[in-house]
Chain A
Amino acid sequence: MPTRTIEFQNLSKQYKDVLAVSDFSASALSGRVTGFLGPNGAGKSTALRCLLGLVSPTNGSAFINGAPYSALHDPIQHVGAVLDSRGFHPGLTALQNLKVMASASGIDFARINEVLKVVDLEQATNKRTKGFSLGMKQRLSLAIAMLGDPEILVLDEPANGLDPIGIVWLREFVQKLASEGRTILVSSHQLAEMQNTVDDVLIINKGVLVAQGTIKEICNGKSLEEAFLDLTLRRSA
């Protein structure tokens, strides 16, 4: 039985004159891939950063397994996150970056080889990351996110920079993780790909939740792209 592992409750974030997220309430379930969709500047990244305690909400809250991120003990052993393709030092090798993260959270270094194998980055272990392609950076970000073997993954545009083979790999990767009972919350602009990947959909536009449901409910016989455009353009109009 899927449980609500991620919950946003009336979340709002105001930046000076801009209301980035407004009274946003939504949830993601365990064992399912939830697509978090919205146009550029819709508030997806802000909502995810509020969820992960990186940005303080103006109002409302976000919870992981019923607690704020900051209250989790050893958080990266519960939640793995890919927020952009940075997040590691370009002057360090992939292995060194992973060692820095692993040692900060007391994770055994044996796990590093496992995650490098999972993301198919073993051949670049000792290469400095400033020489990485965007796709390799995404894979390393995923490796870092998987270090703690978390039951929840939050992925912000993880397909950016991946080639078609990489995109297929990513799809199978997240679906396999969900089949193990993990919660996957993934934001993306690649709607055609998301249609093949996700079980549930959240759509946000101008900081406001405009739709939430299973992909079947949201699409209602249309493609995800058509449904997305209907929902976002109709609201804007």
Chain B
Amino acid sequence: MKNLLQSELRKLIYLRANWLLLLWSGLFAGLGTVAPIMVLNSETRGMGMGFSGTNTPEGINAVFANAAGGYLFALIMGILIMTNEYRHGTAVGTFLVTPKRSTVLLAKLIAASFAGLIVQVFSFIFAVTSGFIALNFFEPHAPVPMELLWKVFRASVISGLVLGIVGVGLGALVKNQIAAVTGAVIWTLIVEGLVVAFVESIGKYLPAGAITGLVDVDFGDNDFNFSIENYLTPGPATLVLLGYAALFSIIAMRTTLRRDLD
């Protein structure tokens, strides 16, 4: 297992696409904190959505909660770890070295979880730093409490660990890299976002809803009645995310163990 993990980490480090993905995750999460600062301080005050400005604690919460928003890239990292094997035919070599596929899968799940963690920690740091820089242009603003940053960091870490695993499961199920990544992007950015925002009774159990629950901060009054009260508390939200990790680990195992490599 140690050898396999080293091999998986080498793949992660050697591939330039992974470093680009990491950079994109930072830019995406950074945009997630900078854009609301601009919008909340614009003439339209949140584009008419009624969110509080950055001169209030709730406005600051709404801005920095987005620092956990790079989880899509943790998911994509997991997908790539699995689908690269099929896309480039390296699965043959991988399974020739280690015919026990469950061991290979376990190494991939651990590597993807680690990669997801790195993505989320990096994007959190990038987003928070970007947010602080942007806030300097809109003085006065409410203070940014350490407790808020801790909550968002916690959500980033847990979501990174889990979504890397989910990505491996998704990649094992779909196999086609373009289809898997496109599906993940559409789901995360469009479908899940809409369900989480507008159908909270279902959305709170989806990964994005559970991450919102993990962040656990008050967004104040807004025209959508978007309230953290409607989401799971951090404990159950963590359990839901772990449930997704378990479900997709099982999917990865079952599909990969059974599949012929033609």
Contacts and interface: CB of A to CB of B under 8 A. Distances in A.
Interface string A66-99: 0001101001100101011011111110001001
A99 B262 CA distance: 25
Nearest to A102: B7
Interface residues of A, number: 32
Nearest to A53: B99
B179 interface: no
Most buried by A among B88, B97, B261: B97
Given A91-B17, A104-B3, A53 B92 contact: no
B99 A100 contact: no
A13 to B, nearest CB: 9
B235 interface: no
A103 B4 CA distance: 7
A21 to B, nearest CB: 12
B96 A100 contact: no
A105 B10 CA distance: 13
B110 to A, nearest CB: 14
A54 B95 contact: yes
B260 A55 contact: yes
A104 B97 CA distance: 7
Nearest to B260: A55
B140 interface: no
A81 B96 CA distance: 8
Contacts of B7: 100-101, 103-104
Contacts of A46: 262
B14 A92 contact: yes
A217 to B, nearest CB: 32
B93 A144 contact: yes
A232 interface: no
A44 B96 CA distance: 18
Contacts of B261: 49, 54-55
B90 A87 contact: yes
Contacts of B3: 103-106
B79 to A, nearest CB: 16
Nearest to B104: A104
A100 B11 contact: yes
Interface in B81-102: 84, 88-90, 92-100
A101 B97 contact: yes
Most chain B CB within a 10 A radius of its CB, from A53, A54, A69, A104: A104
Contact of A83 (B4, B10, B92, B100): B92
Interface of B: 3-4, 6-7, 10-11, 14-17, 84, 88-90, 92-100, 260-262
Q: Which are the 10 A-B pairs with shortest beta-carbon distances?
A: A86-B89, A104-B7, A70-B99, A54-B261, A55-B260, A103-B7, A96-B14, A104-B97, A103-B6, A106-B3
25 contacts: A52-B96, A54-B260, A55-B260, A72-B99, A75-B97, A76-B96, A76-B97, A79-B96, A84-B89, A86-B88, A86-B89, A86-B90, A86-B92, A88-B90, A88-B93, A89-B14, A90-B88, A91-B15, A92-B14, A92-B15, A96-B10, A99-B14, A103-B6, A104-B6, A144-B93
